[in-house]
């Protein structure tokens, strides 16, 4: 059973010539399946298979010994895990919610002195474990953060005690983290050679932090495998990931160069960030690419809603919706109806939220913004796994349709190398 459904009705008048794209999708599909297109050394994500037992075992030992778990990484090395946590855990996971295992914080995704000082203050006096994640093992931001937390852990537990509290996730053999793991005896997970950072959420990169948070990663992978079954299908009519990719490409060709990813749930906040990274880094190259932007409604209906309704007509909108929240809140009846809300008494917040979606989708369509919606059944690990796979497949397809290699990131490397030079890193 699929956990996702798509609705393209609000695209109807915007893309009359849909059939023109079918042969291109077919040939890009074959390229993906044969593994002979640009960047084909990085197609490992297409088979989401992983040693779950090993990840679960290490996650259990970390959960048992720490009150605070710090995940250090940047880009594809942290955002998928954060997306999973925000999607599946309580809206306030680190505050008073003690049933869910250790509090989890992220570090090394910025170079802010205040952020890292505040985090170190916050966790002082608590039992800490760290997972540092970097495929290259040389990225400056997480490397600096790791130095701080390694020192903190070694001071507190000694170099021997640190062995049980630090886990490294990195390349099989390259990079500084490998050397450290060997020298210090830290436990290590390997990021497979054929999986790039932003496609790595269904590897130990995303799965270990999720397992430490108490998420059933077996169910996440089961959802991803469902995604693989559905979105490897060559027939475009039956493959929603390819239909979504095809529409994105057609809209882009018509001059709609920005895609607004709109959600109505704070639980999707980091998922949107993950989506933005996946699209931005995979598609934005060679002077091409859909610009991925995100908004969170209803909040942004009261700010960006104006721009979307009446600004420059170069945008299309993708709504990510949920059929059923985890819990239902009904609006209470008030005796004197002083706030005039009794017409909503007995209605659920889901009902009102859904009307906000319908209102926005209709208004934006009438304002000249083509839109489509992706609805997931619930906030389950299976739905999350399928959703990850859906977007990975769709972004790979859109990249190929736009004629770029979706699996490299030469622009990001530019910045990384410039920074090494400016910081006088030896050898640069």
Is residue 76 a contact point for ligand PA5 (CB under 6 A)?
yes
Secondary structure E strands in 90-153:
103-107, 128-134
Is residue 197 a contact point for ligand PA5 (CB under 6 A)?
yes
Query: According to CB under 6 A, which one of 131, 139, 263, 402 is a site residue for ligand PA5?
Result: 139
One character per residue 382-411, x = contact with ligand PA5 (rule: CB under 6 A): ---------------------------x--
Residues marked as catalytic:
281, 302, 416
> What are 247's two structure tokens?
């529409």
Nearer to ligand PA5, 25 or 207 (CB): 207
| Element housing 70 (H / E) | strand 68-72
Is residue 363 a contact point for ligand PA5 (CB under 6 A)?
no
CA gap 124, 299 in Å, rounded: 34
Find the angle CA(398)-CA(222)-CA(3) to the nearest 5 degrees.
65
Cβ 109 to ligand PA5, closest distance in Å?
Answer: 9
CA gap 119, 127 in Å, rounded: 14
Cβ 198 to ligand PA5, closest distance in Å?
Answer: 3
- CB 119, CB 152: distance < 8 Å: no
Q: Which residues of 407-418 are buried (b: 16+ CB within 10 A; e: fewer)?
A: bbbeeeeeebee
CA gap 174, 138 in Å, rounded: 10
Nearer to ligand PA5, 243 or 285 (CB): 285
Is residue 74 a contact point for ligand PA5 (CB under 6 A)?
yes
Q: How many CB atoms lie within 10 A of CB 336?
A: 6
Nearer to ligand PA5, 77 or 263 (CB): 77
CA gap 36, 139 in Å, rounded: 29
Is residue 356 a contact point for ligand PA5 (CB under 6 A)?
no
Is residue 196 a contact point for ligand PA5 (CB under 6 A)?
yes
- Binding part of the chain for ligand PA5, among 193-201, 230-238, 298-306, 340-348 by CB under 6 A, reads 193-201
Query: According to CB under 6 A, which one of 281, 300, 317, 382 is a site residue for ligand PA5?
Result: 281
Q: In this structure, what are the phi and psi dihedrals at residue 235, rounded to the nearest 5 degrees? A: -80, 115
One character per residue 95-134, x = contact with ligand PA5 (rule: CB under 6 A): ---------------------------------------x
Q: Please report, as ranges, the residues that interact with ligand PA5 according to CB under 6 A.
A: 74-77, 134-136, 139, 142, 196-198, 281, 409, 412
């Amino acid at each position: 059973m699929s956990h996702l459904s798509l609705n393209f009705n609000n695209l109807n008048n915007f893309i009359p010539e849909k059939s023109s794209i079918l042969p291109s999708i077919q040939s890009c599909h074959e390229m993906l399946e044969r593994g002979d297109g640009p960047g084909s050394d990085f197609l490992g994500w297409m088979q989401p298979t992983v040693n779950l037992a090993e990840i679960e075992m290490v996650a259990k030992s970390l959960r048992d010994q720490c009150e605070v778990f710090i995940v250090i990484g940047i880009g594809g090395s942290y955002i998928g895990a954060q997306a999973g946590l925000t999607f599946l855990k309580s809206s306030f996971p680190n505050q008073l919610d003690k049933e869910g295992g250790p509090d989890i914080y992220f570090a090394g995704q910025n170079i802010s002195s205040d952020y890292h000082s505040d985090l170190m203050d916050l966790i002082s006096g608590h039992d800490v474990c760290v997972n540092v994640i970097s495929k290259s093992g040389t990225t400056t931001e997480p490397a600096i953060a790791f130095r701080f937390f390694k020192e903190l852990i070694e001071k507190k537990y000694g170099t021997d005690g640190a062995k049980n509290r630090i886990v490294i996730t990195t390349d099989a053999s390259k990079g500084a983290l490998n050397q450290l793991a060997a020298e210090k005896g830290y436990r290590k997970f390997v990021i497979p050679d054929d999986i790039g950072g932003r496609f790595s959420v269904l590897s130990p990169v995303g799965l270990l932090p999720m397992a430490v948070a108490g998420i059933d990663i077996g169910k996440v992978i089961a959802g991803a495998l469902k995604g693989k079954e559905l979105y490897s299908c060559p027939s475009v009519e039956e493959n929603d990931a390819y239909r979504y990719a095809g529409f994105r490409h057609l809209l882009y060709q018509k001059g709609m160069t920005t895609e607004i990813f709109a959600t109505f749930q704070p639980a999707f906040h980091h998922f949107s960030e993950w989506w933005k990274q996946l699209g931005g880094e995979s598609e934005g190259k060679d002077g091409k690419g859909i610009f991925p932007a995100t908004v969170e409604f209803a909040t942004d209906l009261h700010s960006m809603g104006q721009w979307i309704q009446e600004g420059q007509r170069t945008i299309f909108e993708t709504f990510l919706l949920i059929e059923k929240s985890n819990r239902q809140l009904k609006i209470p009846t008030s005796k004197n109806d002083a706030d005039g809300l009794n017409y909503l008494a007995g209605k659920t917040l889901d009902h009102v939220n859904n009307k906000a979606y319908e209102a926005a989708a209709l208004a934006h369509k009438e304002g000249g913004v083509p839109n489509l919606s992706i609805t997931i059944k619930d906030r389950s690990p299976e739905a999350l796994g399928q959703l990850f796979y859906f977007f990975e497949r769709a972004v790979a397809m859109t990249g190929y349709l736009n004629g770029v290699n979706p699996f490299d990131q030469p622009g990001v490397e530019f910045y990384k190398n410039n920074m090494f030079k400016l910081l006088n890193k030896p050898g640069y």
